[in-house]
A and B are shown apart, each in its own frame.
Chain A
């Protein structure tokens, strides 16, 4: 299922879940997140790791190419608030 997502989509999704479900101000002591939601966070964390590892494998052959900047880190496209 997750493999069907585009690589960047996976990363954006996992970052999104980690930010929205695990961070942010808590006004009430009673955040109504169920066990299923905690699983969502876990999905997010494993997604990002699998994504990075996938990227490493995909990038490995490119690194032998001389003169290029293939070793530049993957930078997610800006998600402009506008």
Chain B
């Protein structure tokens, strides 16, 4: 039996969006284990981890379509519906990028040249931190709702996002340096491998870019 007062309250999309972000960021976390396994050339393990990333990405996908399904235009939300949906698809691309890296590396059984292992690890680490910072921002969404997207809480989130931007900048610098190192080695490596190494570096860098975009979306949500 429905009742006017209880029917008045729709399902808030805030919590599901946070869950989705957690799942998507989890893909990035798993990518770290995947990279370690590939550095160790443990192809058995990389296969398992790639599957784990895919599973997490699938779960994120399910959460995403669930949010979309429960966000009809008749719902009156504290933030524009289109902004929320946009945020959701950006979060989703985070998971996709992690999956892309793992899929490409596993498919080609790519080996990172020994001298590049440390720089690639560092490059990934920066992207991981950036995504973690984005997750932190998304986890403040319920707090933002609590305050009606105003006041001290907005300041707190703006600070989080400033840090996020700094991390993304760090990732950009790291990526430039990493490419320079790869350039030094180019002559000694098979050309096709070099092309895909550049590709992997770019994909890992994109994880940081996407995380930064999540932050910008949060800023747009808060502004009115």
Verify that A and B bind, or say they do not: no
* Chain A interfacial positions (CB closer than 8 Å to B): none
